[in-house]
Amino acid sequence: MYQLGWFSTGRDKAARDLLQVVNSSIKQGEIEAEIAFVFSNREPGESEESDLFFKLVEDYHIPLICFSYQRLKASRGVPITGQAGTLPSWRLDYDREVMNRLQDFHPDLCVLAGYMLIVGREMCQRYNMINLHPAAPDGPTGTWQEVIWQLIDNKAQETGVMMHLVTPELDKGPPVTYCTFLIRGKPFDRYWDEIERHPLSEVKRREGENNPLFKLIRQHGLAREFPLIVST
């Protein structure tokens, strides 16, 4: 049977929802495959959200492999900050250890669904990998939060979601599947009118991710992510 490898940091409810949707589609025969393993760059105890994700994986009786990115980073004396554009040597060592831990698995395709690390060149060459990204081709890069703030800052007319081939360049691999949707017109315009009355920095500080326009864009994106990943 077609073998899937599933990579996820498991950092939020969306990570659990994505796994649930795909697992359900497999059980119903919509996807003719099985999830051979789930890999996470977190380990138990690092986060309540990822622990909930691990519990879900265990409930599905899927092999779970964990290797903490942050703990390795701290052990190398590297400050725990955001991702760098160019991967340092210790990050390549991380990928090599991941591949070592996965050596008994032979996935036909690896799916990155909420995996919050850039994948290095060696790992891209080892596996066929696709990534779920919450933007259209040539759209904003980064996390879904960063994408939405960029859309708002750029006063975008539309956005989308896509599955793309994984390359060492963040969120820039060739698209496999994608869809787009308008973020203007009903029901968006009233929230655009509201947010444009204030500097974006003030909106971020005062409301953050609770801003109505931010939440609405996220809601419409998620509604398309689930069927897109299943169809792909």
Average pLDDT over residues 209-220: 97
Topology at the third CATH level for domain 1-127? Rossmann fold (3.40.50)
The dihedrals phi and psi of 179, each to the nearest 5 degrees, come to -145, 160
Residue 98 pLDDT: 96
Q: Kindly report, residue by residue over 87-132, the tens digit of the pLDDT.
A: 677 888 899 999 999 999 999 999 999 998 889 889 999 999 999 9
Q: Is the pLDDT of residue 157 over 90?
A: yes
Measured between alpha carbons, how far is 81 from 15 in angstroms, rounded to an integer?
22
- For the chain, the structural domain boundaries read 1-127, 138-158+180-232
Q: Which residue has the higher pLDDT, 79 or 226?
A: 226
Average pLDDT over residues 210-219: 97
- For residue 140, name the pLDDT band (cuts at 50, 70, 90): very high
Q: Kindly report, residue by residue over 158-195, the tens digit of the pLDDT.
A: 999 999 999 877 767 899 999 999 999 999 999 999 99
Q: Kindly report, residue by residue over 38-92, the tens digit of the pLDDT.
A: 999 999 999 999 999 999 999 999 999 999 998 888 887 766 554 444 567 788 8
- For residue 32, name the pLDDT band (cuts at 50, 70, 90): very high
Q: At CA 176, angle to CA 97 and CA 103, rounded to 5?
A: 20
Contact 176, 130 (CB under 8 A): yes
Give me the long-range contacts of 98-101 (CB less than 8 A, separation at least 24).
Answer: 98/39, 98/41, 98/67, 98/123, 99/123, 99/126, 101/39, 101/65, 101/67
Residue 84 pLDDT: 44
CA–CA distances in Å: residue 146 to residues 2, 129, 134, 135, 178? 34, 23, 10, 11, 19
Residue 87 pLDDT: 62
Residue 27 pLDDT: 96
